[in-house]
Structure 1
Amino acid sequence: MSLKSSYSFLLLLIRLLAIQWLIMFKSVTSEFRLTIIHNNDFHANYLPMKANNNAECFENWDKNKDCVGGVARTVGKVKEIRQKFINNNENVLFLNAGDHFQGTSWYTLLKSKVVADFVHLMKHDVMTLGNHEFDDGPEELQKFVNLMNGTLPIVCCNVDFDKSLELHKIIQKSIVMKVNNVDVAIIGYLTPHTEFVSSPGKLVKFRDEIQAIQEEIQTLKAKHPHLNIFIGLGHSGYDRDIEIAEKVPDLDVIVGGHSHSYLYSGKNFPSIEKPEGPYPTIFEHAIKTSSYENNGTTLIVQAFAYGKYIGILNLTFNDAGQIVKYTGEPILMSHNIPGDVETETILRKFNDQLSIKYNETFGMATEAFIQNTCRSKECSLGNLITDSFVNHFSNLQKKEKVRQIRQSNNGACKLMALINGGNIRTSIDKGPITYRKLISVLPFTNNLGLLTVTGSELWDILKKSANQHDRGGFLQVSGVRVTFGTTSSKTVIKKSKLINVEAFCDGKWTPISKENTFQVVITNFLANGGDNYTINIKNWQDYQLVDRDILSEYIRKQQKITPILDNRIQFIVDNQNNSSQTLNYNLFLTFVIAILFFIKSSHI
């Protein structure tokens, strides 16, 4: 072969190799893989909890196989996953969807200091705000932010802080992170209902999430022309996240919180939680206009609450920023998952300090009082709490420290008590009861007072409760019987209507008259419009009695308490769908019999 031919052959070989290299390079770079670890609504549940009722494990949690979750397991598992991905040169982000504050004795007694200590150990890449981050006003949130000392980006696009607040400069609307040289935008948002369910004060304003997210996406696109991956990190609840996915198609993923939704696609549930929807929940877009086209997918995830699970979502994006492949599931922080040693040491140190002060036993639960259903139906723990309120104020009436109202037609009616299910945070396990356990059950330190209402006003309050079925505003009751109507559902009953209200007057249950007047024990949270209730505050007298102190006093007197359900809250389920299915089945069966009869007759 001549030198010229050899040179030509070498050039051809180089070109072929170059083309092959470009093809290989394109195949490698055309896909971007990202794994999202996520949790939400930790609510200061640093101790493990009982798997069957979510009550805290105050001792021997390392030996009790029923104890799952806890901050040490969360930190340990996230470290393990991160290390695995680092070893394989893969991309991972750990996102938190808010509500680190409030929910157990840890926050009630130690506030933002203990939250910051454990959040430091979790090492989230990004966090958004939850409504409970405002429970002690923006001042306590500011303390938490100061303690984090710039190590944790906090994003929320629809909360506007007054310029007089330092938070105005610190809380960002979004953040664009470089992940293996790929830009990933993370946009935070929070339910505007925070104004009613927490204590943000007058210097914090909330906007509609959808409008704020859309505006922030346009701002980011203008600043980053090549940006095409957008993650929503929100605390507005599962139902609202689905609405946001529909209205904001640019979002590829929504990592949610607030509704404590357990999402799962498997057949065998790892614990007691029943799925509200699949993991991930998929929203397919098919939008085409003269100026915009989107045929992509938005994935919605959430991982229940209380540190019981973490979510793992594995994603593959193409060059256009569209998701082309995904897998994932929530992982139960089961007893066999080892806890992080450093975190476990800090946890035990704090726990020992709290136990010395607050672990006096003053009562015994013969069985567990379950909190899990207090937002959706009558629960034994709600009955215990509201009964304790009625008992205390009835005793005050007997001592003539509270005036008893007598009706002209119904005589004397029994006192009533109401408490929102979202105020009840953890279960009381079978066995000894300590004040620390009660702090975790009622951590908000609400004052009790007496509200005077007409029957019409009481009806409106309980009607609002029906509208908040399966949410924190659903009311537990004492001294009143309530009947709701609802429709059956394969998953959760979410919409109800008020049908009947009865009061106990002159020794018998009677439907309330809307003109009569009643006395109802409620917390200052409800009296001040919490959970969006409309209460005439002028008719509420604050007796400055702390809710859990009254509960504690009641249990001390009883010594032994037993869970009771007595149908004070009832649901009449409309089975029209089931009746329709039964009718269709009967018609089908009749049709089949007729066909068989016809065939048989034709052979005779």
Structure 2
Amino acid sequence: MTLLHRTFPSALISLLMAATLSACGGSDPVPAAEPSFAAVSVTLAHVNDHHSQLDAFANTELVLGGVATQVDLGGFPRVTTAFQRYANRSDVIKLHAGDAITGSLYYTLFKGEADAAMMNSVCFDAFALGNHEFDDGDAGLKKFLDFLRSGSCQTPVLAANVKPQAGTPLASGYLQPYTLKTVNGVKIAVIGIDIKGKTTNSSRPLNTTVFEDEATAAQRTIDELKAQGIRHIVLLTHQGYEADKALAAQLTDVDAIVGGDSHSLLGDFTALGLSSSGEYPTRVTNKDGKLVCVVQAWEYSKALGELNLNFNTQGEVDSCTGQASLLVGSSFKRKDDKGTFVAVDDATRLQIIQSLASVPTVRVVEPETVAALTLAGFSSQVTAKKAETIGTATEALCLVRVPGESTNRSAGTAGCETANTLARGSDAAQVVAEAFLAGSLAADVAIQNAGGVRIPVPAGTLSMNTAFTLLPFTNVLVELPMTGQQIVNVLEDAVSNHLDSAQSNGSHPYAAALRWDLDMSKAKGSRFSNVQVRNRATGVWSAIEPARTYTVATNDFIASGKDGYTTFGTVYATGNYVNNYLLYTQTFVDYVLAQGSISRPAAANYAHQKVTTVGGTVLP
């Protein structure tokens, strides 16, 4: 052995020994060891769906310490401050899950410049496209992304399933499928996924821009990253909470999903008087049977989510914890002896702040100074427009999409505490439909999709800001001749879009001079019954006549067949309609100016007269 060791190189010795063992029928080769990864902890700090809502929501009512209390909720400068908490940490990835733009006068006037400035005050590590990014088409999105890229942050814009055609506005390096972030020497991949159906049906992307199936694009990109040796995978999606949970089960190797689109508040907020749509984080399993942590952080610059992921040496999620927290100011109002909300005294204010220090669902946060100054440069112009008063609301007009939905979109608006549980659904959408009917001299009925109406309207003064925040899009009023049967088909289309096709529940219909009973537990074609039309001249209700032709007023967006309104689209495609070229927001403004004050319609005039949920519950 000594001579052999001295005479031959060690590599040759190894080869000879292996050959000898093989010839002697030695043991089988040892299988390759599973790859090992350094254990690592990562924090994902995230927001979604801020929708150009850059100012705080003043006088939002929460229950603090068991007492009804009004607070200033959110505002992007508070979001900036909340993110600054992570400034000196190397384990944090800052994420925005889409729908940054459209929804307020900041977008109407500045077309994304103000939003980009606020986002650059945070410097997100990744931003995923949402469907509303395409509301002004590919060219409008490019304009916003140019503003976003003009700063020093250079935030990666992610959309693995969006493929612009060469030569179109987004084709020159605006989008990328994923980005990599290194945390303590470990690479974390963040993949962007935008919702396919809702974007193509409910926004205005170019016909040449391809939206690939979400699961197909996600798995392809995951496999590509695995081939590079990357094991830690986060999806940054904009497709909704339920869709995120379903997607996780279809994919291998995904570890976490940070989402948007459904404006879901996750976590236990019952002590604050708010309902939520699920746990934060929501724990599901992927196709491998491994843990996936799903999160979302509500809406409108109101909250910040923090997901803490602990990875083991197999590169899998060992555990996840976290919290979505509401961002509130340090001033508070409570009711006095007369029942009027007034500012609390200093001692009470300090007591509230101290008590909230132990409440993880709320963070007391002051606006970041530089971000606030930047926003002020835009808000001075917005304020002038906002200040124009158009009328009053004598009571709150609550916002609901589908009657019986889990999250109360009107949370914090006095008078809307149980709005999502009632059969009547959205007061706001109902009043908008009434405005359409009033704005059309020819219409027999008016139909409006729930998703086109964006906010609840508190009781009190109505301003131009109210109107443009309520109805922020550039839709116009059109009139279509339709038979009674076609109208019923339109209603069935709209509900089927979200119940059967798993598309946006913003398609849910509301109407003026048209009412019905709705049973969502039944199949398409049998959900609507007792459909009636109100005579415009006499106010008398009667059963809709299937063969009779009626004139329907609606917005040009759903009239063209978007948001699942297929029957509308077939009529629109023939050219047999009248375009009033009246901005639908202006229709609402004109309605309020003519009325002076508005309120909830009489119970008999609501579109939803009786509603049965998918589970068979009859709503009150």
Instruction: Return the TM-score normalized by structure 2.
Output: 0.77
| Cα contact 2:255–2:316 (8 A) shared by 1 | yes
Paired amino acid for 1:173: P
CA drift of 1:133 comes to 0.6
1:530 corresponds to 2:532: no
Distance in 1, Cα, partners of 2:617 & 2:465: 46
1:173 corresponds to 2:177: yes
Q: Which residue of 1 aligns with 2:313?
A: 319
Distance in 2, Cα, partners of 1:578 & 1:481: 20
Matches of residues 404-483 of structure 1 in structure 2 within 5 Å?
415-467=444-496, 468=498, 471-483=505-517
1:360 to 388, 397, 404: 388
Q: Which residue of 2 aligns with 1:160?
A: 163
State the aligned residue count: 504
CA drift of 1:528 comes to 1.4
1:333 to 294, 319, 327: 327
Distance in 1, Cα, partners of 2:434 & 2:616: 37
Distance in 1, Cα, partners of 2:162 & 2:180: 19
| Distance change (3 Å), C-alpha of 1:440 and 1:218 | same
1:347 to 375, 382, 389: 375
Distance in 1, Cα, partners of 2:378 & 2:513: 40
1:484 to 514, 518, 532: 518
| Cα contact 1:41–1:257 (8 A) shared by 2 | yes
CA deviation vs aligned residue, 1:43-63 (integer Å, no higher than 9, x gap) = 011011156589xxxxxxxxx
Gaps of 5+ in 1: 1-27, 55-63, 288-293, 397-401, 403-413, 489-494, 580-604
Paired amino acid for 2:265: Y
1:540 to 577, 594, 603: 577
CA deviation vs aligned residue, 1:421-462 (integer Å, no higher than 9, x gap) = 111112322222221221111110211011111112111111
Distance in 1, Cα, partners of 2:191 & 2:38: 24
Paired amino acid for 1:553: D
Q: Which residue of 1 aligns with 2:270?
A: 268
| Cα contact 1:74–1:310 (8 A) shared by 2 | yes
| Distance change (3 Å), C-alpha of 1:437 and 1:53 | farther
| Distance change (3 Å), C-alpha of 1:367 and 1:206 | same
| Distance change (3 Å), C-alpha of 1:145 and 1:373 | closer
Paired amino acid for 1:444: F
| Distance change (3 Å), C-alpha of 1:66 and 1:496 | farther
Distance in 1, Cα, partners of 2:480 & 2:127: 39
Q: Which residue of 2 aligns with 1:184?
A: 188
Paired amino acid for 2:261: H
| Cα contact 1:187–1:231 (8 A) shared by 2 | yes
Q: Is the partner of 1:121 in helix, strand or coil? A: coil
Aligned Cα RMSD in Å?
A: 2.7
| Cα contact 2:432–2:588 (8 A) shared by 1 | yes
Gaps of 5+ in 2: 1-35, 63-68, 331-364, 406-423
Distance in 2, Cα, partners of 1:300 & 1:540: 45
| Distance change (3 Å), C-alpha of 1:465 and 1:229 | same
CA deviation vs aligned residue, 1:98-150 (integer Å, no higher than 9, x gap) = 00010111111111211211111121110110011111111121122222227
| Distance change (3 Å), C-alpha of 1:575 and 1:207 | closer
When structure 1 is superposed on structure 2, of 519-528 and 470-479 the one drifting more is: 470-479
Q: Which residue of 2 aligns with 1:411?
A: none
| Cα contact 2:194–2:214 (8 A) shared by 1 | yes
Q: Which residue of 1 aligns with 2:147?
A: 147
Matches of residues 73-84 of structure 1 in structure 2 within 5 Å?
73-80=78-85, 82-83=86-87
1:387 corresponds to 2:434: yes
Paired amino acid for 1:571: K
1:138 corresponds to 2:185: no
1:105 corresponds to 2:105: yes
Bigger helix share: 1
Distance in 1, Cα, partners of 2:100 & 2:557: 20
Q: Which residue of 2 aligns with 1:116?
A: 116
Q: Is the partner of 1:282 in helix, strand or coil? A: strand
Distance in 2, Cα, partners of 1:269 & 1:334: 16
CA drift of 1:90 comes to 5.0
CA drift of 1:206 comes to 0.7
1:248 to 233, 251, 261: 251
Instruction: Return the TM-score normalized by structure 1.
Output: 0.78
Q: Is the partner of 2:224 in helix, strand or coil? A: helix
| Cα contact 2:61–2:70 (8 A) shared by 1 | no
CA drift of 1:383 comes to 2.2
Q: Which residue of 2 aligns with 1:42?
A: 50
Q: Is the partner of 1:260 in helix, strand or coil? A: coil
Distance in 1, Cα, partners of 2:142 & 2:374: 24
Paired amino acid for 2:57: M
Distance in 2, Cα, partners of 1:578 & 1:553: 38
Paired amino acid for 2:584: D
| Distance change (3 Å), C-alpha of 1:53 and 1:260 | farther
Paired amino acid for 2:190: I
Q: Is the partner of 1:164 in helix, strand or coil? A: coil
Distance in 2, Cα, partners of 1:323 & 1:333: 28
Paired amino acid for 2:540: K
